[in-house]
Each structure stands twice: as structure tokens, then as C-alpha cells.
């Protein structure tokens, strides 16, 4: 598949229309927020167009076909057999994280997260008045590892662990042994695990293990997911929670009901069904093309001897780049990218202080856009020398 960057001007895209607000200028190439410039698969476009031709866009239920599509996707892709009643349709993964926090912990109780990390995790813990227990990931020999001794110590004072699997922004896919260890520690300490697996479908050369597929933790965990990153339909509210345990499910549902959010949108429901039923071949091609983008960026950096290091991504269309070789302070690094290279990336520090000196680059775009971005980066670096 050749990745074409669709022009998004005029669609109120966050990536474009919030760039001025975020970077203080619109004179840059935006490569930040985590959606892609790539058209959604044809089966999704057609399903939405079909639905749009019906002129009534009223309240909509989640049909049996919706649940079946999720169950089939999980079974066929991950070998996890789930029951219909375990599935709870949701507004978004981030709202679900908040419902889970409220359902499974009380004020001031401890919740473990692993930084550097997608910011809404830590933000949600703080906003809900819980105690943030930060199990910092260790950056060793160019890859991120879990500090299990620290995790075990934190688990003793925790109620909940918010796992990001695969992990954003480091691109780690946690292997079976790592997950088993985390599970065992949590079970031994009565810690419930909420696993955000929104990036589970875009995994390179590794196997993603769904947390709930580990039998022993099934009754003590929640899996959150959506086809939103996978099929580039993040604006359609297509997420859901999978909660096998009835007690945990009821507690979660109680919080969701308290929020007042109930119905899904007709377009989100159509998009999920179409994507999961007919989007698999497209996804496989997308993964190959995204990996080519990874290789392109890495090769460009190496060939031109830029003092940057791409952390080997095992998942996601987000590249975590170690820019400490540039020798710039946090402020100057941001200014270098925005003002000199004219590139809008996510600053590493926004993912926690461990992200200092890193930048996150969204490669979910065409080779041409990436080529342009790398040329701008190279020029800025050479001018600086
Ligand atoms: C790990 C992770 N979780 C959740 C989200 C957002 O999910 P939602 O839009 O469903 O709230 C993102 C988006 O970047 C993400 O990277």
C-alpha cells in the first residue's frame, strides 16, 4: 500500500487547526496528535456513506452485529474468546480510564502508571484526586524496560494499575514474561489492572498479548480498546471496555451512568462494524507501509549523521526519538523544532520528566511528507552547526 497524505484543511482537524494554539504558529508541518493523514479503509468509507444517505440521524442502539464484530476481531486476531456481556460500549478510552479510576479506587488511594506515558493517564489520576505512583520505565541500551523491584514496592500501596499496552510513547510491546510478572505482582497485592490496548493492532514483528487472555487475571482486570487508531477513525467515538468480571463491570457501569453518557453515534457504530468485519487486509498492508516509514526515518537520520536516535518501535505510528545528542535544553529543543525546523512534534517532557530531550514524531502520513520533514530537520541542524 502506498500511503497517501489526504489534505485535511477544512475538516476542523485538531492536527492542523490546533497547531497555532499549540506551537504559536501555523508555519510548520504538523506531525503531532495521534491520528493519521491516511484515508480510512474503503469498507469504512462506504459504510458511512451508505448510512449518511439515510436522512435520519437519531438515537442509535448497539446491535448484536456490533458485539459480534468485536468478538470475532478478538478471537481471530488475538485468540481471546470473549462473551457478549463482557463488552461495554464507551465514549472514549480516556473517559473509560476516568470511570475505572472512580470505580476501583477512592480519593488519595494509589494508582500506578509507567512514564514516560501518554499524558491523560497521569492527568486523570491527579484530576480524580488519587495518589500517582510512578513506576518509571528504565531506558537501557536504546529500549525501555520495567523496573520490577520498584513496581512491586509501589503495588503494596496501590489499588489500581493503569497499563498502557502497547506503550505510548515508547512503542514497547510488552512480552509474555513481562506481563506475567506484572500480573503476578498485582494479584499478590490485590491491585486491579486496567489495560489500555488502543495500539494493539499496529504491532511490528512482535506478538501482542491481550491482558484478559491471561486466565488468572481475567476476573481482576479491564481491557480498553477501540478501532480508532487502527483504522484512522478517532473522531467517531468507537471505543469499548471488555470487563469479564460482573462485579467490576457493574462498578464501571455505575460510573459511566453517573456521567450521563449513554448512546453511541450511528456513524461510530457503522464504522466499527465495517472496520472489524472488512478491514483486516487493509490493516496488514498499512502495517507494512508504516514500517517502511520507520525505516525511512531511521535511515535518513543515520545517513545524514544527525545526532538523534529513534527508539526501535515495536508498535504504533508514533516514533519516540532521543534528541539529547543535539545538546539543547528543553526550551531550546522545542524552539529548534518549531522555529528552525518548522516541525510540530510532541515534546518529550509532556509525557513526563523522563521524556526530557525526546520528541514524538507521528509517521502516519505519506513518504513525501516525511521526506519533507526530514529535509527541514536536516537544514535546521546544518544551519545550527
Ligand atoms: C494510549 C492511548 N490511549 C487512549 C488514547 C485516546 O483514546 P480516546 O480518543 O478513545 O479517548 C490515545 C490517543 O492517542 C492513546 O495513545
Residue 302's pLDDT band, with cuts at 50, 70 and 90, is: very high
| Residue 98 and residue 198 in one domain | yes
pLDDT tens digits for 156-200? Answer: 999 999 999 999 999 999 999 999 999 999 999 999 999 999 999
163 C-beta closer than 6 A to ligand 1: no
| Residue 359 and residue 327 in one domain | yes
- pLDDT score, position 81: 97
Q: Is 48 inside any structural domain?
A: no
Cis check: omega of the bond before 166, within 30 degrees of 0: yes
End residue of a domain, out of 278, 298, 318? 278
End residue of a domain, out of 278, 305, 334? 278
Residue 261's pLDDT band, with cuts at 50, 70 and 90, is: confident
164 C-beta closer than 6 A to ligand 1: yes
- pLDDT score, position 157: 97
pLDDT tens digits for 105-137? Answer: 999 999 999 999 999 999 999 999 999 999 999
End residue of a domain, out of 278, 308, 324? 278
Per-residue pLDDT, averaged over 208-222, amounts to 98
- pLDDT score, position 36: 98
Q: Give the number of the atom of ligand 1 that is nearest the alpha carbon of residue 316.
A: 16
* Per-residue buried b or exposed e for 190-215, using 16+ beta carbons within 10 Å of the residue's own CB: ebbbbbbbbbbbbbbeeebbbbbbbe
The CATH number assigned to the domain holding 86 equals 3.40.640.10
Domains in the chain, number? 2
The CATH number assigned to the domain holding 300 equals 3.90.1150.10
| Residue 174 and residue 131 in one domain | yes
Q: Is 6 inside any structural domain?
A: no
pLDDT tens digits for 339-350? Answer: 999 999 999 999
Q: Is 164 inside any structural domain?
A: yes
Per-residue pLDDT, averaged over 132-153, amounts to 97
| Residue 307 and residue 327 in one domain | yes
Could you tell me the residue range of the domain that residue 302 belongs to? 14-41+280-384
pLDDT tens digits for 61-97? Answer: 999 999 999 999 999 999 999 999 999 999 999 999 9
| Residue 269 and residue 285 in one domain | no
- pLDDT score, position 262: 78
For residue 52, pLDDT beyond 80: yes
Q: Which helix (H) or strand (E) holds 125?
A: helix 120-127
Going from the Cα of 384 to the center of ligand 1, the distance in angstroms, rounded, reads 35
Q: Is 4 inside any structural domain?
A: no
| Residue 164 and residue 299 in one domain | no
Q: How many angstroms separate the CA atoms of 33 and 16, rounded? A: 9
- pLDDT score, position 373: 98
| Residue 185 and residue 125 in one domain | yes
Nearest residue (by CA) to ligand 1, atom 4, is: 93
- pLDDT score, position 384: 85
- pLDDT score, position 200: 98
Mean residue pLDDT across the chain: 97
Going from the Cα of 303 to the center of ligand 1, the distance in angstroms, rounded, reads 33
| Residue 171 and residue 286 in one domain | no
Going from the Cα of 327 to the center of ligand 1, the distance in angstroms, rounded, reads 31
Q: Is 1 inside any structural domain?
A: no
234 C-beta closer than 6 A to ligand 1: yes
| Residue 237 and residue 356 in one domain | no
pLDDT tens digits for 306-338? Answer: 999 999 999 999 999 999 999 999 999 999 999
198 C-beta closer than 6 A to ligand 1: yes
For residue 385, pLDDT beyond 80: no
Q: How many CA atoms lie within 13 A of 4 on its CB side?
A: 6
| Residue 214 and residue 290 in one domain | no
Going from the Cα of 295 to the center of ligand 1, the distance in angstroms, rounded, reads 25
DSSP 304: T
CB 337 within 8 A of CB 31: no
| Residue 83 and residue 203 in one domain | yes
Q: Is 75 inside any structural domain?
A: yes
| Residue 78 and residue 224 in one domain | yes
Q: What is the pTM of this model?
A: 0.97
Amino acid at each position: 500500500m502506498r500511503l497517501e497524505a489526504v489534505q485535511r484543511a477544512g475538516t476542523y482537524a485538531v492536527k492542523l487547526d490546533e497547531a497555532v494554539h499549540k506551537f504559536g504558529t501555523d508555519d510548520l508541518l504538523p506531525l503531532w496528535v495521534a491520528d493519521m493523514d491516511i484515508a480510512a479503509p474503503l469498507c469504512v468509507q462506504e459504510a458511512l456513506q451508505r448510512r449518511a444517505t439515510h436522512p435520519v440521524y437519531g438515537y442509535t442502539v448497539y446491535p448484536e452485529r456490533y458485539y459480534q464484530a468485536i468478538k470475532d476481531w478478538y478471537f481471530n486476531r488475538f485468540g481471546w474468546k470473549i462473551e457478549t456481556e463482557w463488552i461495554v460500549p464507551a465514549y472514549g478510552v480516556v473517559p473509560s480510564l476516568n470511570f475505572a479510576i472512580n470505580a476501583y479506587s477512592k480519593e488519595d488511594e494509589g494508582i500506578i502508571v509507567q512514564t514516560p506515558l501518554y499524558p491523560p493517564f497521569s492527568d486523570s489520576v491527579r484530576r480524580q484526586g488519587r495518589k500517582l505512583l510512578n513506576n518509571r520505565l528504565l531506558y537501557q541500551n536504546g529500549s525501555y524496560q520495567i523496573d520490577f523491584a520498584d513496581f512491586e514496592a509501589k503495588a503494596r500501596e496501590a489499588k489500581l494499575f493503569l497499563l498502557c499496552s502497547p506503550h505510548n510513547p515508547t512503542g514497547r510491546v510488552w512480552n509474555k514474561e513481562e506481563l506475567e510478572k506484572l500480573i503476578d505482582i498485582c494479584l499478590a497485592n490485590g491491585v486491579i489492572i486496567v489495560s489500555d490496548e488502543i495500539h494493539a493492532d499496529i504491532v511490528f514483528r512482535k506478538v501482542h498479548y491481550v491482558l484478559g487472555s491471561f486466565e488468572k487475571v481475567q476476573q481482576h482486570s479491564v481491557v480498553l480498546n477501540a478501532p480508532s487508531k487502527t483504522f484512522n477513525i478517532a473522531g467517531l467515538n468507537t471505543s469499548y471496555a471488555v470487563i469479564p468480571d460482573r462485579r467490576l463491570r457493574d462498578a464501571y457501569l455505575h460510573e459511566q451512568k453517573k456521567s450521563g453518557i449513554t448512546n453511541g453515534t450511528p456513524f461510530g457504530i457503522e464504522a466499527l462494524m465495517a472496520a472489524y468485519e472488512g478491514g483486516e487486509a487493509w490493516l496488514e498492508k498499512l502495517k507494512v507501509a508504516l514500517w517502511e516509514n520507520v525505516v525511512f526515518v531511521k535511515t535518513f537520520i543515520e545517513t545524514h549523521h544527525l545526532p538523534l536516535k529513534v527508539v526501535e518501535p515495536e508498535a504504533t505510528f508514533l516514533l519516540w526519538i532521543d534528541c539529547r545528542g543535539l545538546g539543547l535544553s528543553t526550551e531550546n529543543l522545542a524552539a529548534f523544532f518549531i522555529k528552525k525546523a518548522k516541525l510540530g512534534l510532541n515534546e518529550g517532557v509532556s509525557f513526563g520528566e523522563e521524556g526530557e530531550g525526546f520528541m514524538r514524531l507521528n509517521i502516519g502520513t505519506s513518504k513525501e511528507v516525511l521526506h519533507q520533514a526530514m529535509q527541514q530537520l536536516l537544514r535546521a541542524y546544518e544551519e545550527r552547526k
